[in-house]
Structures are given as C-alpha cells and as structure tokens.
Amino acid sequence: MQIEVYEERLRVAMLHSDVAELDLLIDDELLFVGPGGGVYTKADDLQLHRSGAQRMFQADWQAVEWRSYGTTCITVVTAVLAGTLMGEPFSGRFRYLRTWVQKEGVWRVVAGSVSAISE
C-alpha cells in the first residue's frame, strides 16, 4: 500500500526536522492534538521543527496499521521516540493516529494525534 511509503517519508522528515518535506506531507488545514491535549496547526508543527524547539534523536516505527477508505486512509503508528521539546527531554513509546487524504494523487495528513503509551 502506498500509504506506508508516505508514513516512512514522514518518519524520516520528523527525525531530521526536514521542514520542506514536512510541508509537502502535511495538509494546510491540519488539526493535530498533542500529547497534552492542545490543538495545533501545520504552521505550529513546521515552526517547532524550523526553530529547533523540537528535536528528535530517535523515531522508530514499531508497527503501522492502516485502513483505506478510497481517498482517505487512517493510520495507527506505534513508535519509540526520543528527543527534546522546548528544551525538555522526552522518550518512550507513543501512538499516532493520523488521517491521510489523497488530493490530486498526493497523500497528505489532514488530522492526527499522539499519545504516550505504557511500556
């Protein structure tokens, strides 16, 4: 399935704070719920990476599950992450829920969330 290629592109872009690639993979209308419950936009996400406020040292996808609904795809990604956010270190297992939509032959994330999960 093509969506797994996009998930891998997103993983690498997040790990390297590749803002240009993130800009391509994230829809302009993104709504994302962070681990603390805050709602963020594409601009917020790109600024975290651009400014260095978020740096990832590890982003390993342990499992990627997906369901396809035509031009919409839902992914659930279980990941091991480590890095810093606003200067504070973080690490652990996390689960992303993402909604991808295909527009003009290109998949982009339009909605998502991330939560810490227990070991």
User: What radius of gyration, in Å, describes the C-alpha atoms of the chain?
Assistant: 13
How would you list the strands of the sheet with 88-103, edge to edge? 39-40, 26-33, 106-117, 88-103, 72-85, 54-69
Q: Percent of the chain scored above 90 by pLDDT?
A: 92
Spatial CA neighbour of 16 closest among 46, 43, 56 = 56
pLDDT in the model for residue 1: 57
Please compute the mean of the pLDDT values over residues 48-61 and round it to a whole number: 95
Cα dihedral 60, 32, 105, 23 sign: negative
Domain annotation for the chain: domains and CATH numbers:
2-113 (3.10.450.50)
Looking at residue 118, its pLDDT comes to 86
The pTM of the whole model exceeds 0.75: yes
